[in-house]
Structure 1
Amino acid sequence: MEKSNRCLISVAMITKNEEHNLDRALGSIKPYVDEIIVVDTGSTDKSVEIARKYTDKIYFYEWHDDFSAARNYSLQFPTCEWVLIYDADEEVREDFAGIREFLEKLPDDVNTVYLPTLNYLDWDLKKTEIASTARVFRNGTVKYENIIHNQAIYKGKIVEAPFTIYHYGYIWTRKLRKSKYERTRNLIVKLLNETKDLPSQERVYYLCQLYKAELIGSRKYVLYDIVQEILSIITSDKKMPSIGLEVLFMHSLDLNNKGFREEARNLLHFLLKVEPSNPDPYYALLAVEEAEENYSKVIEYGEEFLKKIDYVEKNPEKFAWTIISIKYVPSAHALLSIAYLRYKNVRKFKEHFSKAFDKSRLLPHEVQKFVTALLKEIAKTDDSTFSKVLNELAEILRISAEYELKISVFEILEKITNLHVEFDFSLFSPFLNTRFGTLVLEKLKSGKDGLISYVLGENEEEILDKIKEYGIEGLIFFHENMSDDDPVKLKILNKLRKFEDETISGISNALIGDINLRKANYSLALDYYKRASQVFPELSRFIKSVLDDLKTKLDPTIEGVFKELKEFYIKNKEFMVGNLRNFPKAELERLYLISDSDFAKYVSAVNIAVSNKEMAKRLFESITNKEDFQFLEYKYAKLFEESDKDEDLGKALDYHRKAVEKNVNLGDILIGTYRFDGFYPHEEFGNSQDKIVWVGNISEKHSGLGVISPIRVWRKGEKFYYASPFHTDEAIKIYKERLKTHKLPRLTVNKKYILEALSYLNASDIKLIEKDDEHLKIVKACTLELGIEYSEVSKNILSYELINTAKEFNSALKNVQSGVLFYFVPDFENREDMVWYYPLFRIIRTRKQVETELRNLGYTHIEHFVFDENTRAVLFKRK
C-alpha cells in the first residue's frame, strides 16, 4: 500500500559488523516505514556504507557490553509516532505492508504491539521456531533494561498483530557461533554474579537465557544445574516467566532421551497447567510415550499437538514465548503414521504418512530417521495390512533414493517375496548396489538363480579359481547347482579334468560321464567313466556299479556316480558352510533371495537362526531334500531349545535324536572321538509326562566318552530335577575312569571352599565318600591344615558328588553323624550353563529339596553355603 505523508513508523536499529545482513534487512523494511535510525556500535566492515544507501540518520555509540544502553541511545532519535525495534539479521516480506493501516486504526490508549518472529535455525531454512514479542511502541513510551537479552519496559495497553518478522540470527558459522556464545554467556554470567538484588523472576529469566546460550556452547554439562535452580525459584515463587516454558520443554526432551520418562511426564503436565495452549508439551509427551511404545497415548498426544500447532500457525501473534516444537511437525506425523499402522488403521496411517515427509521442513538426517522407523514398522505388519500400504512403501523408496539414504531393504524384500505381490522392483535398485544386491534384483525381476555367481563367481576364470580353492566340495557344489543345459558347465568341467590334482581331474571326468549318461550319450559316458578310473583309480568302486547297470540296460535314468561320490566325500560334514565363513553374514542370512535351491535355504536358515528363529524354521521346513544336509536336524533342534513350551522342547528332543542317528559324528561334537552308537546303559526312571526344563546335545560342551548319552533332557520331578536318559551307576563308574585320560572341563570344588566348610563343621575327623584321587588329595591337604584326622571309619563325611548323582541319601548317610555335601546348580535362566551339560550329573536339587531330604533323615542342624555362581554346600548334624 502507498505510504501517507504522516510520519507513522520509525525503525530503530543498533548494529555492528553486519555487512552480510544489512542489505536484506533494510531493503525489505524500507517500503513500509517512514524513517530509519541506525546506531552503529563500532563496525569495522562495510556496515555503515551499506546503511547510508537507505538512510542518512546514522549515529555512533561506543560499545560498553550493554545492549540496553545501546538500545536506549537509539530511541532518542526517532521522530515518528511509532517505533519499530528491528535488527540487522532480520527481514520482512510483503505481508508486512498491512502494518501501517493496522497502526493508524489503533485507539490512543494502545502503546505496545506484539509481532511474531519466525526464527530460522538452519541454512536450508527448514527448521523454525516462532514467538511473539513486543516490537512496536508509541514513541517515548519504552525503555530497555539489562545488559544482555535486554527487556523492554513499557506501559499502557497491549495488542497483537499478525505481521511476521523473519530472523536469520540463529544460523551461524562455527566461528560466529563461538564468538556469539562467548559474548552472550559472559554477559549473562556477569549480570547474574554482579546484580545481587536481582528480583527472583528476573533471575529466572536470565538463567533461562543462560541455559539457551549453553545449549550452543561446549559446556552442556552445566545445563542440569541451571535447570535445577530455575525449578527451585519457580517452585518457591509459584510463578514462571514465559521463557521458562521453552527451557523446561527442552529439559523434558533431555530427560526423555536419558530414560527419565516419569520425571519428564510430570514436568510436561506441570507445563500444561501453566499454559494449556502451548503445543510444545504435547510433542514431548508424544516422544515419551513413543519411547515406551504406548501407541494409544502417542495417538492421543500427537493429534492434540497438531491441533495446537495449527492454531499457532494461524495466530502466531498470540504467543509471547518461543514455540519450539513447530520444527517437529513432520516428526509428529511420522510417529503418528507408525502408531496408526500398529493398530492397522490404514486410512489414518496414509493421512499422516502423506504429511510426514514435508521437504520444506525436513533435513536429510531426519528423513533417514523416519524412513528407517517406517520401514521397520511396515516390515512387521501382517500380510493383509502390508498389501494395503505398498504405494506408501514405494514412496518411501523414492524419497530414500532422492535423499541418497543408506537403508536396508531386505526385510521388505523378504515380505514381498513371501507374499508374491506385484511391485516395481526397480525401486530397490539404489539400495542394492552390491554384487549380492544385483543378484537379488535379477532373481526378483527375471527369476535367474544367482547361487553359482555369488559363491563361485561370474565368469569361467573366477569359477575355476574358486573350485581350485574349495577343492572337492567346490566341485561337487558347482556340479549340483549348475544346470546340465548351461554350456558353461561342460566347458568348466573339461578344464577341470586337465588339472594336475588327480582327485579333481578324475571326479571331473566322472561328472562329465554322468551328464552324458543323462543325455543318453552312452558311448561318451563310458569313455569319460573309463578316463576317470585311469586318472583316479579310487573312483573305480563308484563307477563299477554304474557300468554293471549299463550292461543290463542302456537307460538314461540309471543313476550316475555323483550321489555316491557326494556321500563318500561329504558324509557327516556341513557341506560348503565352512567355505562361506568369510562372506558377509547379512548376505548369507538372505541367500534364499537369490536362489530357490535347498542349499541357499539351508545357509540362510543357519545364519538367521539367532535373530529370527521363525524365519529359520520356515526355511528349514521348505527344504525338499533334507537327507542331503547332514546337520539339518541338529540345526533345526537348536531352534526349539530355548522355548518354554513343552511342545517345542519335545520337538528339540526329537530332532536331536534324529540328528545323531543321521550323523553319528554329532554324538561327540567337542572331541570327535566317540561316534553315536545308541548304546548308553540307563535305567527306567522318572515319568515321561514330567515337564521338560532343558534339552540339548551335551557333547557341544563336554563328552559322554561313549558311555553317557549325548542327547539329554532335564525334567522336573516331584523331588528334584533329573536327567533322561538316567545313566546307570556302572556308566558313571566307567565314565570317571575314562575321564582320567581326557583333558575336559571339570566341575570341581575349590580347596578354599572345602577349608571354609570343614571349619564350620568343626569335626575331629572326616572321610570323603568318593574315591576320586584328585579330590582325595585336596581333602587330605585340608585336613592337615585344619588339624583334622582323615579316617575311612569316620562318621563325619564330605561329598562333592552325592547330591548331583544319588536318587536318595539313605544308604550313603547311614550311621553318619555329620557332614558337608557339596553340590552344583545351574543358572536356571541360562541354558548354556555347564551344569546342564556335565555328563556325570543326573540329578539337580534345589536348596529346599536338599534340606527336606536331610530333615527326613533326622538331621536337625542344617546350614547352607553359597560359594560362587554354581557351587553350593550344605552342612548337617544330628543332635
Structure 2
Amino acid sequence: MTTLALVMIVKNEERHLSRCLQSVKGIVDEMVIVDTGSTDRTKEIAYAFGAKVFDFEWVNDFSTARNYALEKSTSDWNFVLDADEYIMNDCGSVIRNFIEKNDKVIGRIKRIDEFIQDGEKRYAQSYLSRLLPKGVKYVGRVHEQVNSDLPRENLDIEVYHDGYVYTDKTDRNLKLLLLELERDPLNDYVLYQVGKQYKLRQQLQQAESYFEKSYNLVALKSWYRHSLIIDYLYTIIGNKSFEKGLKLIETERDRFADSPDFHFACGLFYMDLIFSNVNKYIHLFPLIEQSFLRCLEIGDTDKYDSVKGTGSFLASYNLGVFHEVLGNTDKAISFYQQAANEQYERAIKRLELLR
C-alpha cells in the first residue's frame, strides 16, 4: 500500500493546529510535525493527534526547516500543510487515487486565502504544489518553492487559509527576503516577493520599484507572472504612476485577455486615470465600462490565481457604481441586482437606497 504523511513545520500554533490536524487525520498514515521553538501548547496538541514531533533550531530559513521535516517522513508521499490551513472538502479518495496511480507527478491543491480589502473580507484562490513524492525538496529562505522538474497536476483538494487575517508576518518575511536578495540580487521571484511585502505594508513606492525590477526580469511563461502584473498594476494605481500603467496595460492586454483580475484592475486604473486629468484622458472613458463588462464575459476562473468575484459580483457592483454616477439608475439597479444575487452586501445596500 502506498503511504502518505502529513508534513508540517510549526511554532506557537495552538490557536489553529487542532483544526488543521482534525481535517487531515483520516487521510494520512503518519503525521510529522517539526517544531521550531513553541512556547505554548502546540506540541501537546500535536502529540494528542498521534503525531511524531521533532524539535528544530530555527535558522531563518524555511526551506531548511521544511526539508528537515520531509527527511523525518517514512512515507512514499508527503502532504505539506501549514497550521493556519485546513482541508475544506471531502478529498480523501482524490488524494488516495492520485498517489496510488502516480510516482513522478506533483499534486497541486487549491488554496482559498481570506484577506481584508477595502474594509471587507475577500477571497483569493491559487494552486500550490503540496502533494509531493518522496525525495522532492524545497529551496528558498522564505516563500520557499518546491525544487523539482516533475510535472504538476491540479487536484480537487480545497484548503482554506486565514493566516493573513490573524497574523502580520510582513516584518519577518521582509527581513528574510532581503537576506535572500543579498545572496541573489537578480532573482525575479524574490524581487516580486519583496515588492509584495512592501505593498502589504502600504509602502507603495518601494513596492513599485521591486515589482518593476521583477517585471523586467521575469520569463514570459513564468508561473507567477500573472500575479506579479496584477500586484504591479494595483501599486501603480496607488502611486498614480499613470503613464507607466498605460504602457503596462498596452503590453499585457492580449496576453491576459482571458483574466478577469487583469481587466478588473484595468477598470479601476481607468477610473483613477480619468479623474486625475479629465481633459487629457476623457477619450478613455468608455474603457471603464468595457473593462468590467469583459470581466463578466470571462467569469470567475481557475486558470489564474484570482480573487473571487472579479469575474462576477465585484465587476457587477462596479458597473452599478459606474451607471449610478452617470445617472443611469435603471442600469445601475440591474447591475447591483446581479451582485446582490450573489449576496454581495454592498450591492444589497445600494439597492435599498436606490429603491
Please state which band the TM-score falls in when normalised by the shorter chain. Answer: 0.7 to 0.9
3-state secondary structure, aligned to 1:114:
strand
Matched, 1:37 2:32: yes
In the TM superposition, residue 361 of structure 1 has moved relative to its aligned partner by: 5.6
For residues 299 and 220 of structure 1, the distance between their equivalents in structure 2, rounded to whole angstroms, comes to 27
3-state secondary structure, aligned to 1:126:
strand
Q: 2:213 aligns with which of 213, 229, 236?
A: 229
Matched, 1:187 2:176: yes
User: What amino acid is the match of 1:281?
Assistant: F
Q: 1:207 and 1:152, CA in 2 relative to 1: closer, same or farther beyond 3 A?
A: same
In the TM superposition, residue 7 of structure 1 has moved relative to its aligned partner by: 4.5
3-state secondary structure, aligned to 2:90:
helix
Please name the residue that 1:81 is paired with.
76
Q: 1:188 and 1:131, CA in 2 relative to 1: closer, same or farther beyond 3 A?
A: same
Q: Deviation per CA, 1:223-266, whole angstroms, max 9, x where unpaired? A: 232233223334xxx54633343233233223334444443232
Q: 1:100 and 1:228, CA in 2 relative to 1: closer, same or farther beyond 3 A?
A: closer
User: What amino acid is the match of 1:333?
Assistant: S
User: What amino acid is the match of 2:209?
Assistant: D
TM-score, with structure 2 as normaliser = 0.84
In the TM superposition, residue 329 of structure 1 has moved relative to its aligned partner by: 4.9
Matched, 1:116 2:110: yes
Q: Deviation per CA, 1:769-822, whole angstroms, max 9, x where unpaired? A: xxxxxxxxxxxxxxxxxxxxxxxxxxxxxxxxxxxxxxxxxxxxxxxxxxxxxx
For residues 205 and 42 of structure 1, the distance between their equivalents in structure 2, rounded to whole angstroms, comes to 29
Matched, 1:161 2:144: no
Q: Which moved more, 1:41-50 or 1:331-340?
A: 331-340
Matched, 1:396 2:336: no
Please name the residue that 2:194 is paired with.
210
Q: Deviation per CA, 1:798-857, whole angstroms, max 9, x where unpaired? A: xxxxxxxxxxxxxxxxxxxxxxxxxxxxxxxxxxxxxxxxxxxxxxxxxxxxxxxxxxxx
Please name the residue that 1:305 is paired with.
295
User: What amino acid is the match of 1:187?
Assistant: L
User: What amino acid is the match of 1:164?
Assistant: E
For residues 146 and 86 of structure 2, the distance between their equivalents in structure 1, rounded to whole angstroms, comes to 21
For residues 209 and 20 of structure 1, the distance between their equivalents in structure 2, rounded to whole angstroms, comes to 27
Matches within 5 A, 1:613-652: none
Unaligned runs of 5+ in 1: 1-5, 375-391, 398-422, 424-879
Structure (1/2) with the larger strand percentage: 2
TM-score, with structure 1 as normaliser = 0.36
Please name the residue that 1:285 is paired with.
266
User: What amino acid is the match of 1:31?
Assistant: G
Q: Give aligned-pair identity as a percent.
A: 22
- Extract structure 1 runs of 4+ deviating beyond 6 A: none
Q: 1:98 and 1:361, CA in 2 relative to 1: closer, same or farther beyond 3 A?
A: farther
For residues 11 and 288 of structure 1, the distance between their equivalents in structure 2, rounded to whole angstroms, comes to 43
Q: Deviation per CA, 1:203-223, whole angstroms, max 9, x where unpaired? A: 110011111112233644422
Is 2:16–2:83's contact at 8 Å kept on the other side of the alignment?
A: yes
Across the two proteins, how many residue pairs are aligned to each other? 344
Is 1:144–1:153's contact at 8 Å kept on the other side of the alignment?
A: yes
In the TM superposition, residue 357 of structure 1 has moved relative to its aligned partner by: 4.3
Q: 1:258 and 1:61, CA in 2 relative to 1: closer, same or farther beyond 3 A?
A: closer
For residues 112 and 227 of structure 1, the distance between their equivalents in structure 2, rounded to whole angstroms, comes to 29
Is 1:327–1:361's contact at 8 Å kept on the other side of the alignment?
A: no
Matches within 5 A, 1:602-617: none
For residues 197 and 127 of structure 2, the distance between their equivalents in structure 1, rounded to whole angstroms, comes to 20
Point out the structure with max Rg over C-alpha.
1
For residues 302 and 90 of structure 1, the distance between their equivalents in structure 2, rounded to whole angstroms, comes to 32
Q: 1:352 aligns with which of 335, 345, 352?
A: 335
For residues 259 and 221 of structure 1, the distance between their equivalents in structure 2, rounded to whole angstroms, comes to 10
User: What amino acid is the match of 1:251?
Assistant: Y
User: What amino acid is the match of 2:265?
Assistant: A
Relative contact order, CA 8 A, sep 6+: which one is greater? Answer: 2
For residues 209 and 95 of structure 2, the distance between their equivalents in structure 1, rounded to whole angstroms, comes to 46
Please name the residue that 1:106 is paired with.
101
3-state secondary structure, aligned to 1:161:
strand
Please name the residue that 1:59 is paired with.
54
User: What amino acid is the match of 2:222?
Assistant: P
For residues 116 and 92 of structure 2, the distance between their equivalents in structure 1, rounded to whole angstroms, comes to 27
Please name the residue that 1:96 is paired with.
91
For residues 153 and 354 of structure 1, the distance between their equivalents in structure 2, rounded to whole angstroms, comes to 47
For residues 329 and 97 of structure 2, the distance between their equivalents in structure 1, rounded to whole angstroms, comes to 47
In the TM superposition, residue 326 of structure 1 has moved relative to its aligned partner by: 4.3
Q: 1:49 and 1:105, CA in 2 relative to 1: closer, same or farther beyond 3 A?
A: closer
User: What amino acid is the match of 2:165?
Assistant: I
For residues 343 and 173 of structure 2, the distance between their equivalents in structure 1, rounded to whole angstroms, comes to 31
For residues 178 and 338 of structure 2, the distance between their equivalents in structure 1, rounded to whole angstroms, comes to 43
For residues 240 and 111 of structure 1, the distance between their equivalents in structure 2, rounded to whole angstroms, comes to 20
Is 2:87–2:159's contact at 8 Å kept on the other side of the alignment?
A: yes
Unaligned runs of 5+ in 2: 275-281
Q: Deviation per CA, 1:426-469, whole angstroms, max 9, x where unpaired? A: xxxxxxxxxxxxxxxxxxxxxxxxxxxxxxxxxxxxxxxxxxxx
Q: Deviation per CA, 1:81-108, whole angstroms, max 9, x where unpaired? A: 3211111010112333342354156345
For residues 336 and 344 of structure 2, the distance between their equivalents in structure 1, rounded to whole angstroms, comes to 15
For residues 143 and 268 of structure 1, the distance between their equivalents in structure 2, rounded to whole angstroms, comes to 37
Please name the residue that 2:318 is paired with.
335
